[in-house]
Amino acid sequence: MNVALVTGAGQGIGEAVALKLSALGAKVACVDLDGAKAAAVAAKAGGKGYKADVSNVAGFSDLLNQIEQDLGPVDGLVNVAGVCLTRPIGSVTPDEFALTFAVNVQGLFFLSRSVADRLVEHGATGAVVNMASVSAFLPKLEQIDYGASKAAVVSLTRSLALVYAAKGVRFNAVAPGMIDTPMTQANAQNRAKARGTTPQEQLDLLLKTVPMGRVGTPDDVAQTVAFLLSEESSYITGQTLDVCGGTLMR
Q: What does the binding site for ligand NAP look like in residue numbers (CB under 6 A)? A: 7-8, 10-14, 32-34, 37, 53-55, 80-84, 103, 131, 133, 176, 178-179, 181-184
CB of 236 to ligand NAP, least distance (A): 20
CB 176 within 8 Å of CB 218: no
Between 3 and 78, CB nearer to ligand NAP: 78
For every residue of the chain, which 3-state class applies, written as one string? CCEEEEECCCCHHHHHHHHHHHHCCCEEEEEECCHHHHHHHHHHHCCEEEECCCCCHHHHHHHHHHHHHHCCCCCEEEECCCCCCCCCHHHCCHHHHHHHHHHHHHHHHHHHHHHHHHHHHCCCCEEEEEECCHHHCCCCCCCHHHHHHHHHHHHHHHHHHHHHHHHCEEEEEEEECCECCHHHHHHHHHHHHHHCCCHHHHHHHHHCCCCCCCCECHHHHHHHHHHHHCHHHCCCCCCEEEECCCCCCC
Nearer to ligand NAP, 14 or 49 (CB): 14
Task: Supply the residues annotated as catalytic.
Answer: 146
Nearer to ligand NAP, 5 or 103 (CB): 103
Residue type, 13: I
Q: Closer to ligand NAP at the Cβ: 53 or 219?
A: 53
Which sign does the torsion angle of CA 88, 90, 96, 97 carry? positive
Closest CA to 71 of 41, 117, 26: 26
Cα–Cα distance for residue pair 165/229, rounded to 1 Å: 14
Q: Closest distance between ligand NAP and the C-beta of residue 97, in Å? A: 15
State the minimum distance, in angstroms, from the CB of residue 90 to ligand NAP.
23
Rounded to a whole number of angstroms, the minimum distance from the CB of residue 205 to ligand NAP is 14
Q: Which residue lies nearer to ligand NAP by CB, 51 or 124?
A: 51
CB of 121 to ligand NAP, least distance (A): 25
